[in-house]
Amino acid sequence: FTTSLLLGTTMTISSNHWIMAWAGLEINTLAILPMISKSHHPRAIEAATKYFLTQATASALLLFSSMINAWQTGQWDITQLTNPTSCLILTSAIAMKLGLVPFHFWFPEVLQGAPLTTGLLLSTLMKFPPITLLYMTSPSLNPTVLTFIAILSTALGGWMGLNQTQIGKILAFSSISHLGWMTIIISYNPKLTLVNFYLYALMTTATFLTLNSTKASKLSTLMTTWTKAPAVNAALLLTLLSLAGLPPLTGFLPKWLIIQELTKQDMA
């Protein structure tokens, strides 16, 4: 399954043809499903079903958008997406794949139901192919739609994460918020999106691996793990602050650069 996961990701990020990109995304989805439902717990099975249905819909939309574009322009090149209808359908397909608002409902549920290591894959590796497609098609996409989706995602991600006690859901809303930051800048400076994604992946990996080693799944259990491993918990605290984007830490850097770029574009 891990090999299939890597194969699917590599296929999508290195493809120039829509069908290849779609096939890579499908391989990815099918490879992660057994990992989500590994524990045979009803919650995990529910998470796998929700994940499958959302990703299948998003893949169908992606294929539909590329077909309309090929029908109108006669080519399957990813970078040559010129049809406005195709661009709109593709934006919603990628938003659904990434879990951006208004297609975000599946993500917190799936992340909560999946094991922590699978949750890590869902938050980082599984986001990479759609981000790559967004990066490649960003010149053709409608900046107003992207900005609207991005602002909603950032606001909702921060707001809905406030009232949670489950760590999985908090990290899911954190992911939605970060993806909002990445989406808003992609039309103006796509390289910043990638910088933001790499740093986000690094911080999230650190968070998930620490939580996995302390076996904490709720905020209440996280408070009691302090006595077991004080050093690990101190590191986790710093990583979480970095993930929140507080100034002296790494997580602040992409946000600062994005705000700077948006100011240059007269957006902020």
pLDDT band at 114 (very low <50, low <70, confident <90, very high): very high
Residue 145: what residue type? V
Decide if 75 contacts 117 (C-beta within 8 A): no
pLDDT at 117 over 80: yes
Q: How many CB atoms lie within 10 A of CB 64?
A: 15
Q: Residues in the chain, how many?
A: 268
Q: What is the pLDDT of residue 37?
A: 94
Distance of CA 54 to the CA centre of its chain: 14
pLDDT at 267 over 90: no
Number of structural domains the chain divides into: 1
pLDDT band at 112 (very low <50, low <70, confident <90, very high): very high
pLDDT band at 185 (very low <50, low <70, confident <90, very high): very high
Q: Which domain holds residue 161?
A: 1-264
Looking at every residue in the chain, the average pLDDT score rounds to: 95
Average pLDDT over residues 199-209: 97
Q: Is the whole model's pTM more than 0.75, yes or no?
A: yes
